[in-house]
Amino acid sequence: MTISPASPNYSERRGGAQPELIVLHYTGMESAAAARARLCDPAAEVSAHWLIAEDGTVEALVPEAMRAWHAGAGAWAGREDVNSRSIGIELANTGNAPFPEPQMAALDRLLKEIMARWAIVPEAVIAHSDMAPGRKIDPGPRFDWARLARQGLAVMPEAGGMAPPVAEAGFMAMAETFGYPEAPFEVLLAAFRLRFRPRHTGPLDATDMALITDLGLRFGADGGSWRSS
C-alpha cells in the first residue's frame, strides 16, 4: 500500500522481511492529536503504521511496506526485530479507559484489510505486551480481544480440552510453543493473563494450564504455517 508518510520515523524492513504480524498498542496519551504529534516527531524516534482515534478516525502514518518503529525490544514465535516483521496499530487511549465502539469498529475494518493484504493469520495478531512481556502492558486489560476473535481477527483459547498438571515448567513450555519469548515464569504468567484472563490474580491454576495448552496445541509452533517462512 502506498501512502505519503505523515511520520518521518521509519526505515527499510531488514533482511527482506515482510509483514507477518500485527501488533496492537494503546498510545498512553491524553488525545489522538497528542499521540500523532509524538509519532510524527523526529526527535521521539517512534512511529506506527496506523493511528486510530477515539471517534474512529483512521490515519496512515507510515507505508505498510516500510519498517515503523513501534515494537522495540522483544520477540514473538522465535523472531526478533519485530519491527521488520510487523505492522503496528496505535489506538488512542490513556491506558485506563474503555475503547469506544467507533474506535473498535474502525479497528475491525482495518484489521480485515491488512490481514487480507498481507495474508496475516489471526494468531499473528498480538498485543505489544505479548512480544515484550514485563516491559509493555498495552493494549491492556480493557481491550476486547474476544470481540476480535469472534470475527476471526485474533484468537482466544478454550478451556474444554486437555487438563495437564498445574506446573510452572509445563506452562512455560506451552507459552513458548504459542509464541511468547523467553522470560521468567512470573513475567510470562502476568503477560498471558493480561490478555487472556484480565484482572485474574493468584497462583498458577488449572484454568491457566488448560488455556495455555489450548493455545500452544492449536496455534503454536507446529500449527502455524506462517512460522516456517
> How many other C-beta atoms are found inside a 10 Å radius of the C-beta of residue 160?
8
Placement of cell 493494549 in the chain: 139
Q: Containing H/E element for 126? A: strand 125-127
- Find the Cα–Cα–Cα–Cα dihedral 132, 136, 142, 145, rounded to 10°: -20
Please give the Cα distance from 62 to 43 (Å, whole number).
Answer: 16
Which cell goes with 96? 485506563
Which cell goes with 191? 503477560
CA 61 from centre of chain:
18
> How many other C-beta atoms are found inside a 10 Å radius of the C-beta of residue 73?
12
90 is catalytic: yes
CA 227 from centre of chain:
16
The SS3 call for residue 24 is: strand
Q: Which of 90, 113, 176, 182 is catalytic?
A: 90
Which cell goes with 106? 474502525
Q: Could you give the residue numbers annotated as active site?
A: 90
